[in-house]
């Protein structure tokens, strides 16, 4: 970690403490992976010819995309926490994550696997939780009555 300017009075938490707290908060609310085993009985229906319905294919692609992002988040948050405690080396990517957390921005490690968004980190995390919740309900309960098009990685898949 590069030295950072600190306040002249030591009454507030250090940047490292702020980042560690933010990382812990994100880790606590970060959704778990979306598992095919969670699928309801009517989620992945097939047509008479044995091919899946196109809506099932859309859901399968969304699961893959969200799981890549969630996997990246879980792995980097765990590694980041170790690095903050001094148990492992803070790589260049993790240092970028540190800076992004301080600036309330989505770390590049996550943005590279995520859907396009201009939201700051705090809003982005809330949005991610809602998106995963929508996909998880679809996975468990089957096709929803209404689709949250902008909540998907690739809404063009419906066309």
Q: Is there a contact between 94 and 79 (Cβ–Cβ < 8 Å)? A: yes
Cα–Cα dist 9/72, whole Å: 37
Q: Summarize the confidence of residues 130-154 as an average pLDDT.
A: 94
Q: Summarize the confidence of residues 26-32 as an average pLDDT.
A: 97
Q: Is there a contact between 104 and 70 (Cβ–Cβ < 8 Å)? A: no
Is the pLDDT at 122 greater than 80? The verdict is yes
SS3 content of the chain, % helix, strand, coil (to 5): 60, 0, 40
- Looking at residue 154, its pLDDT comes to 87
Q: Summarize the confidence of residues 66-86 as an average pLDDT.
A: 96
Is the pLDDT at 68 greater than 90? The verdict is yes
Q: What is the DSSP letter of 52?
A: B
- Looking at residue 4, its pLDDT comes to 53
pTM of the model: 0.88
3-class state of residue 134 by DSSP: helix
- Looking at residue 135, its pLDDT comes to 97
Residue 98 to residues 85, 87, 88, 101, 121, Cα–Cα distance (Å): 13, 16, 14, 5, 12
- Looking at residue 159, its pLDDT comes to 73
Q: Say what percent of the chain tops pLDDT 90.
A: 75
The predicted-structure confidence for 96-119, as pLDDT tens digits, reads as follows: 999 999 999 999 999 999 999 999
Is the pLDDT at 35 greater than 80? The verdict is yes
Q: Identify the burial level of 155 via C-beta atoms within 10 angstroms of its C-beta, where 0-12 means exposed, 13-18 middle and 19 or more buried.
A: middle
State the average pLDDT for the chain. Answer: 91
């Amino acid at each position: 970690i590069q030295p950072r300017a600190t306040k002249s009075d030591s009454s507030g938490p250090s940047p490292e403490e702020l980042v560690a707290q933010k990382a812990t908060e994100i880790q606590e609310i970060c959704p778990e992976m979306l598992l095919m085993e969670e699928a309801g009985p009517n989620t992945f229906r097939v047509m008479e010819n044995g091919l899946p319905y196109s809506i099932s294919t859309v859901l399968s692609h969304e699961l893959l995309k969200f799981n890549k992002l969630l996997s990246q988040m879980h792995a980097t948050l765990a590694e980041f926490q170790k690095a903050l405690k001094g148990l492992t080396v803070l790589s260049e990517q993790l240092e970028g994550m540190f800076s992004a957390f301080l600036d309330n921005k989505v770390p590049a490690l996550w943005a590279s696997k995520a859907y396009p968004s201009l939201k700051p980190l705090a809003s982005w995390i809330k949005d991610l939780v809602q998106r995963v919740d929508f996909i998880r309900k679809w996975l468990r309960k089957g096709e929803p009555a209404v689709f949250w098009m902008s909540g998907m990685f690739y809404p063009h898949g419906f066309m």
